[in-house]
Chain A
Amino acid sequence: MADVDMSALYTRGNYFAERSFVKTDIQGGVTRNRSGTRIVSLTSDFLKGLRNAMFQECGPAANMVLTTCGKSWGRMFAQRFEREMTEFYGAPFRQAPVVFFETCLSEAFSHHGWGKFQIDYTRTHQGIIVIQIEHPPFEGLVENPEEPVESLLSGIIAGIFSHFTGQDLACLQTDCTQCGDAIDRFVMTLSSRIDKPRDLKSSGKGFDEIIAVMEKSVA
């Protein structure tokens, strides 16, 4: 596919330009993005209520359920995101350079209010991607949690990257500001390799120990 002309990617600006991205039909009560996809705002009340209900109904399984919901959401988001990017820029987004992909995804996160992320690709040869996110959705919403609170976002990230890599990936939050950590950080790897890191996290291990075990399991 090397003969596909990707120069069109660079002939338009930012798809997510704030003043062009979202339009609301006040009379109809409908908000859409510039491609016509309907957007519904989720307020902090909604997120809090969703999380509370999940824990009331599902008990200890709530985090797993939220992650599964997030993963399904993330996959669908990625399909639409790919379609919208391809239409807008006039070139197949899946074949865009990594830096173009990452910039557009970062803008998508920022403009949907999901936080600001940074991706660390230095361990991709070991099948590990580390992602740090500032201001994730549940920031400040959960009081004194015993475990990381961004399980919905973990699922979304896994879903998005599963779509674009064609692999079944899983994502685990290793650091959580709500739990007292300095940052919100996630590790992502193949679903078949996530059980051990998840067990380590459950037993109270931190990022360095988890990542060391993950690296060793590949070496």
Chain B
Amino acid sequence: MNPSLNKMLEDSAGRYLADEEKRALLEYTESLPMRLQVAANVQKIEDKALRKAVEQIRQKYPEFYKARPESGAERTLRDFSLVVRHTVLAMICADRDLQEDRLLTWLGKMLSGLNFTAQFNRDSYIFVRDQLKAALPADNYALLEPYLNINIESLGSIYEPQAATA
């Protein structure tokens, strides 16, 4: 769960929680209904928003998709969906390391191996972020935004093989 709360609870072993620690715990628990509501809203709009992002990236990189006529767009949608679902989980847990630990390092290695470029990924996850921004209420998006930016930074700076094609 939330790593800073976990650490706080570990550090408090053998004593009672300080006022500041109690406040942090309450703040997080009070924010949970809203976090879960955002997750439910993302779930509702995910497919439509991500299909729009796929369309944007297809228009920006037509050659990339021309070379993958069979399943390129479907695979992009699948990747977007996997990334967004981890992003939502990170938002629920208020854990800014969760995406990297569970998904992004691993996915970034794979995308490097498939000759995706950092710029392609950066553009992709900017489109994803912007489509979610357009589809969600402002307060929902505000909660999600820092985690969407982590995707852009992480996948937008992958190691690039020399024979990059994207």
Contact of A11 among B82, B106, B109 (CB under 8 A): B82
Contacts A10-B82, A13-B86 given: A99-B105 contact, CB under 8 Å?
no
Residue with the greatest number of chain B CB neighbours at <10 A, chosen from A16, A17, A20, A104 = A17
- A-B pairs, top 3 by smallest CB distance, nearest first, are A14-B106, A99-B113, A13-B103
Contact of B114 among A17, A18, A19, A99 (CB under 8 A): A99
Contacts A7-B78, A103-B109, A106-B109 given: A14-B114 contact, CB under 8 Å?
no
Q: Which residues of B have CB within 8 Å of A17?
A: 101-103
Which residue of chain B is the closest to A18 with respect to CB atoms? B101
Contact of B105 among A10, A14, A100, A104 (CB under 8 A): A14
* Min C-beta distance of A91 to chain B, whole Å: 14
Q: Which residues of A have CB within 8 Å of B109?
A: 103, 106-107
Q: Is the CB of A13 within 8 A of B106?
A: yes
Please tell me the number of chain A residues within 8 Å of chain B, measured between CB atoms.
17
A102 in the interface (beta carbon within 8 A): yes
B110 in the interface (beta carbon within 8 A): yes
* Min C-beta distance of B71 to chain A, whole Å: 9
Q: Which residues of B have CB within 8 Å of A107?
A: 105-106, 109
- Which residues of chain A have a CB within 8 Å of any CB of chain B? 7, 10-11, 13-14, 16-20, 99-100, 102-104, 106-107
Q: Which residues of B have CB within 8 Å of A18?
A: 101
Which residue of chain B is the closest to A107 with respect to CB atoms? B106
B47 in the interface (beta carbon within 8 A): no
B79 in the interface (beta carbon within 8 A): yes
* Min C-beta distance of A109 to chain B, whole Å: 12
Contacts A10-B78, A11-B82, A13-B86 given: A20-B110 contact, CB under 8 Å?
no
Contacts A17-B101, A18-B101, A19-B101 given: A103-B82 contact, CB under 8 Å?
no
0 or 1 for each of B81-105: is its CB under 8 Å from A? (1 = yes)? 0100010000000000000011101
* Min C-beta distance of A15 to chain B, whole Å: 8
CA distance A143 to B78 in the complex (A): 50
* Min C-beta distance of B154 to chain A, whole Å: 13
